[in-house]
Every structure is written in C-alpha cells, then in structure tokens.
Amino acid sequence: MNEKQTDAARSWESLRKGHQSRPLEWLVERGIFLVSLSAIVMIFLIFAFVGREAWPVVAGKMNSSSVQTVIPVAEMDKHSPAELRAYLGLTKAKFDSMDLETRKLMMEIKVEADKEKPVDKDAPVNTTSWHYLFRPHAWTGYEKPSYIWQPVSLIHKYNLVPLIIGSLKATLVALLFSVPLALAAAIYVSQLAPAWAKEWLKPAIELLAGIPSVVLGFFALIVMATVLQKVFGYESRLNAFVAGIALGLAIIPVVFSIAEDALTSVPRSYTQAALALGSSRWQAAWKIVLPAAIPGVFAAVVLGFGRAIGETMIVLMASGNASIVSGSFFDSTRTMTATIAAELAETVTGGHHYRILFLIGALLFIVTFAANFAGDMVMHRLKRKLEGKA
Amino acid sequence: MNTAQPPAIHPPGRHFRTDGFDAGSFFFTGLTGLATFLILAILAIILGNVVWEGWGSFSWRFLTGGTERDMFSVENAGVLPMILGTAARVILMTIFVIPIGVITAIYLTEYARSGSLWTRFIRGAVNNLAGVPSIVFGLFGLGFFIAFAGQNLDRMFHAGAEPHWGKPAILWASLTLAVMTLPVVIVATEESLKAIPSGLREASLALGATKLETIFKIVLPQALPGIMTGGILAVSRAAGEVAPILFTGAAYYMASLPKSLTDQFMDLGYHVFILSTQSPDIERTRPLLYATVLALLLLTFTLNIVAIFVRARMRRKMRAAH
C-alpha cells in the first residue's frame, strides 16, 4: 500500500456495513473472497497434480527392469488373480474379460519372451531407483561409471545429472550475458537518462518481453547459431552458449524491470543529499543509490535465474539436445525443460519414462518456487526498509 | 576534480559537471548508456531481420491458405488454420481468466487488510504463479485437466467408449493458459483499482450506496481501461506461448478447423517450432518460416503496443485526477 493509506482508507477495506441488512450482498462478498483464493488453490493443485504423476518414482513403486521372474504356466493356480494381472500387465477390465485359455496363452507368450531376454548384466536393474537417477553407473559397454540419460533403449537409463548440468550451463551463460547488460541499462534509465528519454526507454526495453520465446528460439536457431559459430569458431553449431545467449535475451527484461524498480524506489533524498555534498550524478548513482538498492539487484538475479532455468522453447530449439556431461559451454547440451518437451509426447501414460519426466517437472517447480520466494522476500524487505527511512 | 569551487548545480538532465571535464562521469554514463543502446539494438536487429526476410512472402494467399497440400513450402502453405486456432484458444482463455483475475484483484484492493495473513498468502501465491515455468503448466494441464478432470468426466458420461474429455483439447489448452496468465490480469487490475481516488468511493457511500454497489457501479467502470490492459497483456503473453499447449491441445496437423471444445487445434507458435525444427529442407522452408514468425510477432506486438498506450493514457488521467 502507498503512503497515502490513512485511517479512512483502512476503514474502507474493513467496511462491513452494507451486508447486515442485505444477505445477498453478504453472499456475493463471501463469493469474492472464495474466488480470490484461486491463486493459492492453483499453486497447490500444480504441486499436487505434477507430484501425483511423479509420486510412484519417488516412493520407489516403479520398476523399469527389462526382465521379470517368469511364472511357469503349470504354477498358474498358485497365484492370486491380482498377482497374475500385475504379472501380465493388464487392466482389470481386460483381465476379467479373458477366459482361462486366453490367460494360459498369455502366460506361454511370457515364457517364450523370457527365452529371448536381453543378455545384459544391467537388465534386472530397476533404473528408476534413486541410485541410478543421481549416481554414476558403469553400464555395459562403458568403461567407467558415467552419468547417462538414455530413456529409449534396451536398458532405460534415467540419470538426471546430465540434464541438470545442461540446464545450469545454459542458465549460467544467460545470467553472465544478461545481468551486466540489464543492470547497466537499469542504472542508466533510472538514474542518468534525461527525463524525456526515460519516458520511452523503459517500455522499449520491456518490449523485448513481448517477443514470444519460440521466436527467440527460432532466431537463435536460424540466425544467431550461424553468426556466433563464425565469430567464435567452435565445432558444434547448437550448444549451451548459443542457447544461453538467446535465453539471456529472454531474461533481460525481467532483470531490467526488477533492478529498475529497486533503483527507482531508493528515495530521491539520497541522490539530492549526495548532489548537495558536491558529488556528480554518476557518483551518486554508483556510490549511494546502487549500494542502497543492492538487495534488489540480488532479487533481480535470483528471479532471472528462476525464469531462465524454466524456459523451454529457446533451449529446446537452440541447445542441440545431446545429453553430454562436459565442462565446455560449446558442447551440445540437453536441459531439463527441453527433455520434458521433447519426450513426453512419445511416452506411455503412467509408464516409468512418463513418471520420470513428471519428476523433472516437479524438481523444476520446486527450484523456481524457491527462487521466486527468495526474490520476492528480498524485494519486499528492501522496499519496506527504503520506505521506512524515507 | 576541482573541489575548491562551490559545488555546481545539477539540473535534471545534465550529467556532466560544469566545472571542467569529468572523466568518471563520461565513462560511467557512456558505459551504462551503451548497454541500454545495445539491448535496444538487439531488439531492433531481431525485429528488423524478421520483417526484412518475412515481408516478401507475407501475401494474401499466405494469410488465407492452409497446409493441406504442403506444409513446408511458401508456394503452397498458409497459416489461416493456425491463426484461427490461436485466436480461438486465446479468446476461450480470456473468458476464464478475466472474471477470476478481476474478482481476485477486487478482493485484494477493496476488502483485504493489507497486513493480514490471507492477503500475504494470496500475494505470495500470485507472485509464485507468475514464476512457474511454462513447461510445468503444460505438465499440470496434462496431469490435472486431462488425466484427472477429463478422465473422470469420461468415467461419468462416456463409459467404456473412446476418451472424449480425457485427451488433448482446445478447452484444456485454454484452461491451462488461463491458470498461467492469472497473475497478469490480477496485477494489472489491482494497479488500476488502486489508481482510483478514494474520494469517489466515499462520495458514493455518502449518497447511501452499499460497499458492493460502490465497487460494481463506481469503481469497476473507472477501472475498465486497466482491466482491458490486463486482458490484452494476458492475451499477448498467451498467444506466443508454446510449452503449455504442447501436450494439452496443439496438433501437428489437422485436416479441419476445431469444431468443438474437445477438438485439438493448430497453433501459430507451435507451427513456428514445427517449421524451424521438422522441415526436411530448411532452405526451401525459410521464406515460409520467416513469414509465419512475422505473423506471430505482428499478433503479439500489436497487442503489446495497444496495452502500453492504454496504460499510458490511464496513468496520465490518473495523475490529472490526483
């Protein structure tokens, strides 16, 4: 609320006179309150329903091993119908509609299939358990333990580390590129620019936010990738660097807006006092206003990080999408968001691949939630402090 | 610096000390100004590149054609189904998001006590909702609207048959986008409600109106430009979003336009993605791709600029009123 909040304004908020004699208005006002909870409900629903699809993996109820212990057809009667149904992988309706002969046939097919099972030391491994999600493993054909994301193969390898590193790489490039630019622009627009320029500079920079991310992705893929490759001469045309720069373009308006907001909320009296003591405008901006607004700069970076790590289309189109673990920014990378976007359509609903992708989504949600929360807190505190001192 | 002289007066708009050349000021102002210029230059390069390359193939036939004959060449393909699909999903979205967003904003500005726990919770949720990654909205749409709501609707009304509700559809895509753009509408409406002088509310109360009457007959009509701005910003944001509709309704190709809420649709942003990544011959597709990007940019930018103007006018009026 602004400083104009007088007692009169406060009593308007808590005004409850109208509905005492009018039950209908009371009802409508209750309704307004209930609808206003929608944002809270939505946050809760997002967490609940993304989490619901991911839960079986977290709880260790999924099994992605490529071999099963075989039940011989003769021992069919020793098992309960529920066990058999799970063994055959059928829905209840389908299982019930089959007669005994058909079930027997299904059992025989299972036995036959077992004879042709893959010969691989990792075949019985449940790759959705925590160890295989985050720790390196020496898969068949690999000499050393390594982090592999290879969901569509004989052995489903679901190691999330390459994707996390990929996301962090692109985000780091984006922040290194965009934060200095956006911060300098924020200082210029809020402190140094002449008044007539301020008027249109801010909306002009924020116009960058109006470019859809798919267009930035397109631009990175078609134009920037070629130009940057010519300039820097690296090998892989699409990589974390190209994606990061395009990602940086997407978060410049975010970082700029928040930093500009923080700098502008520093009371004018700070600048005026500095100028009165004989400093020049840039000294006042650099030594007085910026230090006072530094938590806001931090908030801008944190919120920019949250936006960058969650951005999908740009990295999907410009990062090359190869899940390589390497320290180089010029290697093709696969990020968490791009993996979800690229793979979800081809998964079996309710299967382990599907659930792992939801798990990645839940991780993203938690990370961005934490970043937003921290950024908002810092911004809120800063504004209160500055208003209190004003 | 010559500190012996009395400090120079710095009128707004003057950055350089009048008592001689100040290298620090020159350097600092120049550097920050350069950064500002660089950002605007990048913006200009992107827009210029798209307009320059896209304008040539931006024909009437392109705007009114479909993709029946060939998807990837500019001679045969058009974008009409995508423009209509995007328009439909965005209009459907505003129907859901505007009432909920406006009512939430009314509660936050007119009823909520600013320090109370509920208010802090709601504000925190709104801020957090604005920062949830768009792909997570896509997962949410799939997990909640399709897998939960849709399949339960099917269980109740379409037992045993092919899924009718429990599959990607324009309805679910619109609802997902409505959840995503809710904060945009709330923030814009709140801003415009706060700008209305409290004298208006008090005058209305003094004349015997109840609080609710005051809000709906005095406050809301005044706030209409702000609500419109919120709606336009939400539409322009949603029109370009692809990630949330990837699994909730967008189709690679459809022979006909969506006829009901449960049909899938073709989408302009998704089409940009398809053209730039799936084309068998990118050089042949290039003119078509640029024209499609130009169409998408025209759509979102027109909306954005309209919103900026409405907002600027509103602010000027507000300043005059205070």
CATH (domain of A298) = 1.10.3720.10
Residue B144 clears pLDDT 90, i.e. is over it: yes
Q: What is the pLDDT of residue A21?
A: 66
- What's the whole-number mean pLDDT along residues B132-160? 91
Pair (B234, B299) in one structural domain: yes
Q: Residue A329: which residues within 8 A CB-CB, separation 6 or more?
A: A169, A173, A239, A240, A241, A244
Reported as a single tens digit per residue, the pLDDT across A357-377 is 999 999 999 999 999 999 989
Taking CB atoms and an 8 Å limit, are B269 and A212 in contact across chains?
yes
Pair (A23, A83) in one structural domain: no
Pair (A328, A223) in one structural domain: yes
User: Average pLDDT, whole number, for chain B?
Assistant: 87
Top residue of B2, B19, B113, B140 to mutate, by most chain A CBs within 10 Å, is B140
Q: What is the CATH number of the domain that holds B183?
A: 1.10.3720.10
Domain enclosing residue A98, as ranges: 68-116
Pair (A86, A53) in one structural domain: no
Question: Which residues of chain B have a CB within 8 Å of the CB of A196?
Answer: 13
Q: What is the pLDDT of residue A18?
A: 52
Pair (A52, A105) in one structural domain: no
Taking CB atoms and an 8 Å limit, are B10 and A189 in contact across chains?
no
Residue A158 is classified by DSSP as E
Question: Which residues of chain B have a CB within 8 Å of the CB of A247?
Answer: none
Long-range Cβ contact pairs of A322-325 (< 8 A, separation 24 or more): A323/A148, A323/A149, A323/A150, A323/A162, A323/A163, A323/A166, A324/A162, A325/A146, A325/A147, A325/A161, A325/A162, A325/A165
Residue A182 lies in a domain: yes
Q: How many helices (H) and strands (E) does chain A have?
A: 19, 2
Residue A294 clears pLDDT 90, i.e. is over it: yes
Distance from CA of A80 to the nearest CA of B (A): 26
Pair (A73, A184) in one structural domain: no
Residue B1 clears pLDDT 50, i.e. is over it: no
Pair (B267, B159) in one structural domain: yes
Residue A8 clears pLDDT 80, i.e. is over it: no
Pair (A102, A198) in one structural domain: no
CB atoms < 10 A from the CB of B58, how many? 18
Round to whole Å and give the CA distance between B311 and A170. Answer: 35
Residue A10 lies in a domain: no
High-pLDDT (> 70) share of chain B, %: 92
Which of A39, A58, A77 is where one domain is finished? A58
Please tell me which residue of chain A has the smallest CA distance to B185: A39
CB atoms < 10 A from the CB of A104, how many? 13
Per-residue confidence band for A3, with pLDDT thresholds at 50, 70 and 90:
very low
Residue B9 lies in a domain: no
Residue A129 lies in a domain: no
Reported as a single tens digit per residue, the pLDDT across A101-146 is 887 888 788 777 777 766 677 777 888 888 889 989 888 888 888 8
Residue B19 clears pLDDT 60, i.e. is over it: no
- What's the whole-number mean pLDDT along residues A334-339? 96
Within a 13 Å sphere around the CA of A49, how many CA atoms are in the beta-carbon half? 21
Question: Which residues of chain B have a CB within 8 Å of the CB of A180?
Answer: 35
Q: Chain B 53-72, CB below 8 Å of chain A: which residues?
A: none
Residue A272 lies in a domain: yes
Count of the separate structural domains present in chain B: 2
Pair (A175, A252) in one structural domain: yes
Pair (A242, A364) in one structural domain: yes
pTM: 0.88
Residue A153 lies in a domain: no
Pair (B106, B40) in one structural domain: no
> ipTM of this model?
0.88
Residue A257 lies in a domain: yes
Q: What is the pLDDT of residue B47?
A: 95
Please tell me which residue of chain B has the smallest CA distance to A350: B147
Round to whole Å and give the CA distance between B100 and A37. Answer: 10
- What's the whole-number mean pLDDT along residues A324-339? 92
Q: What is the CA radius of gyration of chain A?
A: 29
- The token pair that represents B256 in the structure block: 């006909």
Residue B274 lies in a domain: yes
| B268 has a chain A CB within 8 A of its CB | no
Please tell me which residue of chain A has the smallest CA distance to B286: A222
B137 vs A194 pLDDT, higher one: B137
Residue B14 clears pLDDT 70, i.e. is over it: no
Question: Which residues of chain A have a CB within 8 Å of the CB of B322?
Answer: none
Residue B286 lies in a domain: yes
Residue A317 lies in a domain: yes
Residue B107 lies in a domain: yes
Domain enclosing residue B42, as ranges: 15-57
Pair (A314, A384) in one structural domain: yes
Pair (A34, A111) in one structural domain: no
Top residue of A15, A55, A216, A280 to mutate, by most chain B CBs within 10 Å, is A280
Distance from CA of B265 to the nearest CA of A (A): 16
Taking CB atoms and an 8 Å limit, are B289 and A222 in contact across chains?
yes
Pair (B91, B240) in one structural domain: yes
How would you write chain B as a 3-class SS string? CCCCCCCCCCCCCCCCCCCCCCHHHHHHHHHHHHHHHHHHHHHHHHHHHHHHHHHHHCCHHHHHCCCCCCCCCCCCCCCHHHHHHHHHHHHHHHHHHHHHHHHHHHHHHHHCCCCCHHHHHHHHHHHHHHHCCHHHHHHHHHHHHHHHHHHHHHHHHCCCCCCCCCCCCHHHHHHHHHHHHHHHHHHHHHHHHHCCCHHHHHHHHHCCCCHHHHHHHHHHHHHHHHHHHHHHHHHHHHHHCCHHHCCCCECCCCCCCCCCCCCCECCHHHHHHHHHHHCCCHHHHHHHHHHHHHHHHHHHHHHHHHHHHHHHHHHHHHHHHC
A390 vs B191 pLDDT, higher one: B191
- What's the whole-number mean pLDDT along residues B98-126? 90
Question: Who among A192, A358, A371 is closest to B29 (CB)?
Answer: A192
User: Average pLDDT, whole number, for chain A?
Assistant: 87
Count of the separate structural domains present in chain A: 3
Question: Which residues of chain B have a CB within 8 Å of the CB of A275?
Answer: 7, 10
Q: What is the pLDDT of residue A143?
A: 83
Q: Residue A352: which residues within 8 A CB-CB, separation 6 or more?
A: A57, A62, A63, A64, A127, A128, A156, A158
